[in-house]
Amino acid sequence: MVQAYILIQTEVGKATAVAQEIKKIQGVVSAEDVTGPYDVIVRAEASTIDELGRLVVAQVQQIEGITRTLTCPVVNL
């Protein structure tokens, strides 16, 4: 299982709506509004890194109001 944090910047005033839409995506564990340089932080999981990439590109990035994403895979050192 591959897990990652997805850091998201949104258009002004869109963070809550974006987080609510992301929560509906299969593979998303949590999506929360935050303050700071990012507006929403998502925890997601997938069976492979390729599946995680497809989740981000084909589903998360398609949500209206998102301007930028940064995907941070979790590593177990």
User: Which amino acid type is present at position 34?
Assistant: V
For residue 44, what pLDDT is reported? 98
For residue 51, what pLDDT is reported? 96
Contact (Cβ atoms closer than 8 angstroms) between residue 25 and residue 60: yes
For residue 26, what pLDDT is reported? 96
The string of pLDDT tens digits covering residues 12-31 is 999 999 999 999 999 999 99
Q: Which residues of the chain have pLDDT under 70?
A: none
For residue 40, what pLDDT is reported? 98
For residue 55, what pLDDT is reported? 96
Class of domain 2-73: alpha beta
Map out the domains of the chain as residue ranges.
2-73
